[in-house]
Amino acid sequence: MTREQFIELVSAEQEALRRFLRGLCSGNGSLADDIAQEALLKAYLSFERFEGRARFSTWLFRIAYNCFYDNVLRSGRGVMAASIDESGSDLRRLHSVPDESTAADRSFNHQQLYHAIAALGRREKAVVLLFYMEEKSIKEITAITGMSSGAVRAHLFRARRHLKQYLKGL
Amino acid sequence: MMTEKDIRKFMRANRIPVPKDDRFLSELVRQIDLLPTPAAFTDEEELLKQNRLLVDAIRTYLRRYLRRKAIATLFVNAIFCLIVLLTVFLAISEASGPSPVLNFIKEWYYMIIGALGLCSLAISLHLAL
């Protein structure tokens, strides 16, 4: 494969990847794009490790997911700390952090989806975004997140229950 | 009662927006340009050369394979014709009277046909494989 073909493949996948990361970063577009850039550069540099067993998009999502956790767990940024809070009770902190994102991101901060998934644990959030937003299969989600299919189903079950409760309250 | 359909509908209605501009991609390309090209990537020229070599190798293989197959088929046909001719010759000689060659052929008729058959099979297999 040539460099140009790689860029072509990436340009077809970048929108979904950035959307997923925006969801994980609770709407912080600039942070999500930074992580997406990092992930795509990592994919470029380690392309020889892509064995072709999984789909290219699944491989990219896995790298992005790992980059997200590397960023989140090491930097401990305010927004991220709130977004990865397992209890999901720290929503106020999130709004106190200055956000450099675009207008679209700011509007997203106030969208119902954000509120619906903000209380989910970090794994549940990832599973929900991949399953409902990106329409990935359970098999693909296990490949991306590294969780077992049982764990993915369990997270999905809990997330569904939460979302149903949230939607009932609307 | 909320259903799976409601969740999907909600997720679709609240799809996270991603800016459609090319800034993200152009920045990515700029950063890729700054990096050395990994060994996994080949340039366009190299790829064309590799593809050309591959096509040449396939063409050579196919040509050899088809030639062998054609020779093998021809050989088998020739042997088959020889056997048929031998049978006809024997049938005619039966009617015309005895001779030492005919007697030999008559005596070893099955062995001769068997040997010819084995020969043709061996040569066909050798050429085809």
B34-61: per-residue pLDDT in tens? 888 887 777 677 778 888 999 999 999 9
A84 has a pLDDT exceeding 60: no
Residues from chain B contacting residue A13 (CB–CB below 8 Å): none
| B7, B15, B43 ranked by CB distance to A164: nearest | B7
| A15, A167, A168 ranked by CB distance to B18: nearest | A15
Which of the residue ranges A16-30, B26-40, B77-91 would you say has the lowest mean pLDDT? Answer: B77-91
Q: State the pLDDT at residue A117.
A: 82
The radius of gyration of chain A's CA atoms, rounded to the nearest angstrom, is 16
Q: State the pLDDT at residue B125.
A: 74
Q: State the pLDDT at residue A104.
A: 52
B16-36: per-residue pLDDT in tens? 888 887 888 899 999 988 888
Q: Do B41 and A47 touch (CB under 8 A)?
A: yes
Q: Do A36 and B24 touch (CB under 8 A)?
A: yes
Q: Which residue has the higher pLDDT, B23 or A92?
A: B23
Q: Among all residues of chain B, which has the CA nearest to that of A113?
A: B14
A104-162: per-residue pLDDT in tens? 555 554 567 777 887 888 888 899 999 998 899 999 999 999 999 999 999 999 998 88
- Give A106's contacts (C-beta < 8 A, 6+ positions apart): A27, A99
pLDDT band at B129 (very low <50, low <70, confident <90, very high): low
A102 has a pLDDT exceeding 70: no
Cα separation of A63 and A75, whole Å? 18
- What Cα–Cα distance (Å) separates residue B4 from each residue in A41, A91, B11, B95? 37, 26, 11, 92
Chains A, B: CB pairs < 8 Å: 94
A47-70: per-residue pLDDT in tens? 888 877 788 999 999 999 999 988
Cα separation of A27 and A29, whole Å? 6
3-state helix/strand/coil string of chain B: CCCHHHHHHHHHHCCCCCCCCCHHHHHHHHHHHHCCCCCCCCCHHHHHHHHHHHHHHHHHHHHHHHHHHHHHHHHHHHHHHHHHHHHHHHHHHHHHCCCHHHHHHHHCHHHHHHHHHHHHHHHHHHHHC
Query: What ranges do the domains of chain A cover?
Result: 3-168
Choosing among B16, B26, B28, B41, which should be mutated to test the A contact, i.e. which has the most A CBs within 10 A? B16
Cα separation of A6 and A14, whole Å? 12
Question: Shortest Cα distance from A40 to chain B (angstroms)?
Answer: 8
Q: State the pLDDT at residue A82.
A: 44
B114 has a pLDDT exceeding 80: yes
**Homologous superfamily of A3-168 in CATH?**
PhyR, sigma-like (SL) domain (1.20.140.160)
Look up residue A131 and give its DSSP letter.
Answer: I
- Report which secondary-structure segment, H or E, holds A94: helix A91-96
Q: State the pLDDT at residue A76.
A: 64
